[in-house]
Amino acid sequence: MDQQTIISILISILTISSGIFIVILQRKTEKIKIIENQLSEKKYKAYSELIEIFYNIFKDTKNNRPINNQNLTLKLIDIKKDLFIYGSDEIFRKFTDWLCFSTENSNNLNHMNYFLDLMIAIRRDMGKKDTSLTKHEIMLNIIQDKKVLDEFSQYWK
């Protein structure tokens, strides 16, 4: 074999190897994207269910309906599991802070401070990294009454 034939064979082998490598890399990248999307969906569901609890309690309070503590407890246990598996470390810790404060201070409205920290952290974790929403703005959106908001704002400053 002459030198040109050997070079041609090597170039062919390198070309085929590069093609195979590119296909393998693309498949791995696709798998990673699929896994990331699945994780994001699970995380969104867990975060959404957590926020939903708050809004359901708010709706029940507004409609003078009693809060079903047994259902609430069961739902929180499911959310704890999902946040442990899918939530970011920051969300997990803020959720735990809120739960601990709420448990230790059951009649203290300052738990809203912890919950609002959690809500803002959830926004950041779901892609709004530069969110500028404040606790005050979130509560104004929920309460929709500036006078009432001002009366209770001491609990989340």
Q: What is the DSSP string of 77-114?
A: HHHHHHHHHHS-HHHHHHHHHHHHHHHHTTT-TTHHHH
What is the model's pLDDT at position 67?
82
pLDDT for 90 beyond 90 = yes
The structure's pTM equals: 0.76
Lowest mean pLDDT among 35-44, 102-111, 113-122: 102-111
Q: For 128-153, what is the mean pLDDT?
A: 89
pLDDT for 83 beyond 90 = yes
What is the model's pLDDT at position 149?
86
What is the model's pLDDT at position 117?
95
pLDDT confidence band for 125 (50 / 70 / 90): very high
Q: Taking the domains of the chain in order of start, what are their residue ranges?
A: 44-155
The answer to whether 79 and 46 have CB atoms below 8 angstroms apart is yes
